Amino acid sequence: RISQLTLTIAALVLLIGCNNNNRYPPDEWNGSDCGLHESPRFAHVNAPIASELLRETLKKDHGTGIAAAVILDGELVWSDAAGRSGNRNNPELTPSASMRLGSVSKPITAALIARLYDLGLLNVDLPIQQYVPEFPQKNDTLTLRHLMSHTSGIRHYNFSSFAESNSQAQYQSLSESLFLFSDDPLLFPPGEQYAYSSFGYNLAGAAIENALGVSFGDALQEYLVQPMMLERTGTDDPALFVPCRQAFYTVAFGRIPLHTIWRNNSDAYPKA
């Protein structure tokens, strides 16, 4: 028990000790630009109830911050945020915050692939080596359709590996990150089972980059973000200034929020 306690304390010290040297630029959060004193939008009769539920959800989840909005018939009728941004003096989060989508990036990547398919720029049923020739041949044909539906047999993260779960590496292309899993055997023949896989979307993103000859971020902007007029949607590039981007947290013991080291998502843009 003493050893376990010592390791736990050491881990917490490590997380806190990384606080000052491993964060995005603090000037990304500015009180005036990010609506530091912004009030919730109460344009709908149920808006106050929604704001209260938002705060109850954050408290119940022991999270650090949450933002939400409701649009009816194309009109924004409510938006609010709760919690803290983690930047500078840790001001309150506002609806202007740039929030990371996490794995909600996957359906966006799938929508991008569907759009490219409609334009004849990708075929979801060709062997993946057609677009990513450096990916090793497996015993069975692996396609973009398998990758998007989590039936590829490619494994998920190994969360005990820091390089996978909290990468600090900067990759210039998604193909550069494929070594993390490319040589591992498939869990099952493609199409025979379902197994959630973030790495499958790594490979799908590499296919997009190679097919179009541009970065995943540029493809996303040209074929999905701009046509849909998503003005504040893009990749979480640590080298770029992103206004109102919140800081990283780790929730220890299920309830203690710690401002912690940031993750470089250059290997994870399609699945994030």
Token pair 């997009």 in the structure block, residue:
208
Confidence at 184, pLDDT banded by 50, 70, 90: very high
- C-alpha closest to that of 29 among 89, 90, 98, 87: 87
- Asked whether residue 33 carries a pLDDT value surpassing 90, the answer given is no
Measured CA to CA, the distance from residue 9 to residue 48 in angstroms comes to: 41
Question: Could you read off the pLDDT of 52-87 as tens digits, one per residue?
Answer: 999 999 998 888 889 998 888 888 888 899 988 877
Measured CA to CA, the distance from residue 116 to residue 111 in angstroms comes to: 9
For residue 134, the tally of other CB atoms under 10 A from its CB is: 11
Measured CA to CA, the distance from residue 177 to residue 213 in angstroms comes to: 17
Locate 2 and state its tokens. Answer: 């003493």
Confidence at 15, pLDDT banded by 50, 70, 90: very low
Q: For residues 271 and 154, is the Cβ–Cβ distance under 8 A?
A: no
For residue 90, the tally of other CB atoms under 10 A from its CB is: 14
